């Protein structure tokens, strides 16, 4: 396990978007843009049960997240780690992320769907700061 340097904490606590990488069944990295939150030295991301990211992480928990300040792309934090997933608190997390990134109180994107929200908890094994 690796501790998060202060710069990574600051980036993760600000409403900067992150890129997340998981591994597809053929080993090809899959990338997407996500909202992130920090819990101590862990990084939390929200996904949906059955979505590609979720299926990939069920099969292989290796995950890497990069957070890059929109206005300063040459400085960023790359966090490599291992994911553990849980449905508990999944709805609360997506609502908190919605508040952090949009100011809205409640995430409405799942309304009228059968989406089950999953918390992806990433425990860092290696952090690189540029």
- The site for a second copy (CB under 8 A) is made up of 17, 19, 21-24, 27-33, 60, 62-66, 68, 70, 73-74, 76, 78, 80, 125-126, 130
In whole angstroms, the minimum distance from the beta carbon of 41 to a second copy comes to 17
* Residue whose CB is less far from a second copy, 17 or 92: 17
In whole angstroms, the minimum distance from the beta carbon of 88 to a second copy comes to 27
Contacts of residue 22, defined as CB under 8 A and 6 or more positions apart, other chains included, come to 29, 30, 52, 53, 56, 57, 60, 62, 63, 83
* Residue whose CB is less far from a second copy, 81 or 90: 81
Contacts of residue 49, defined as CB under 8 A and 6 or more positions apart, other chains included, come to 87, 115, 116, 117, 118
Rounded to whole angstroms, the Cα distance separating 94 from 113 reads 15
In whole angstroms, the minimum distance from the beta carbon of 49 to a second copy comes to 20
């Amino acid at each position: 396990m690796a501790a998060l340097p202060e710069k990574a904490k600051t980036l993760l606590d600000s409403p900067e978007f992150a890129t997340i990488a998981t591994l597809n069944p053929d080993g090809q990295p899959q990338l997407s843009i996500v909202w992130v939150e920090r819990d101590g030295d862990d990084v939390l991301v929200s996904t949906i049960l059955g979505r590609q990211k979720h299926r990939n992480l069920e099969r292989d928990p290796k995950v890497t997240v990069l957070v890059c300040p929109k206005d300063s792309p040459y400085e960023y934090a790359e966090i490599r780690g291992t994911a553990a997933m849980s449905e508990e608190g999944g709805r609360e997390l997506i609502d908190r992320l919605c508040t952090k990134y949009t100011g809205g109180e409640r995430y409405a994107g799942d309304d009228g769907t059968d989406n089950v929200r999953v918390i992806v908890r990433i425990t860092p094994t290696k952090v690189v700061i540029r």
